[in-house]
């Protein structure tokens, strides 16, 4: 029996889980660890890697379609486990599954 791919691609990944549609790391808050520049779009995997390589990063959010400013498409933000995700249409938030653990040797 031949199997076919699903009708639409899934967002599931072994690296991260969807944490919220219309959500992002909070603005001007200590729990936000980084934000990439406007007009320099990252892919979802690029954004994951930014979070993975940032100590303490537990969530990342990425600007998608339907943003009020086109410059925000592909803007990536990372935040800590303690962050309360903010509402913002056009952004999507993800929770890390694989987190780098820094160990003192």
How sure is the predictor about 68, in pLDDT bands with cuts at 50, 70 and 90?
confident
Residue 74 lies in a domain: yes
Q: What pLDDT does residue 105 have?
A: 54
pLDDT digits (tens, 9 = 90+) for 20-61: 999 999 999 999 999 999 999 999 999 999 999 999 999 999
Question: Global pTM?
Answer: 0.81
Task: Report the domain count for the chain.
Answer: 1
- Give the DSSP H or E segment for 90: strand 86-96
76 is a domain residue = yes
Residue 33, SS3? strand
Between strands 59-63 and 76-79, the pairing is: antiparallel
3-state secondary structure of 47: helix
Residue 47 placed within a domain: yes
pLDDT for 3 equals: 46
Percent of the chain clearing pLDDT 70 (strictly above): 81
Residue 64 covered by a domain: yes
Q: Is there a domain that residue 98 lies in?
A: no
């Amino acid at each position: 029996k031949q199997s076919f791919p699903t009708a639409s691609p899934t967002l599931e990944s072994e690296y991260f889980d969807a944490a919220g549609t219309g959500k992002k790391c909070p603005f001007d808050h200590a729990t936000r660890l980084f934000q990439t520049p406007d007009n320099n779009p990252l892919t979802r995997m690029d954004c994951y890697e930014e979070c993975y390589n940032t100590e303490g990063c537990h969530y990342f959010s990425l600007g998608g379609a339907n943003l009020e400013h086109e410059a925000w498409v592909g803007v990536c933000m990372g935040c800590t486990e303690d962050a309360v995700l903010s509402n913002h249409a056009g952004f999507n938030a993800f929770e890390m599954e694989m987190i780098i653990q820094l160990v003192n040797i």
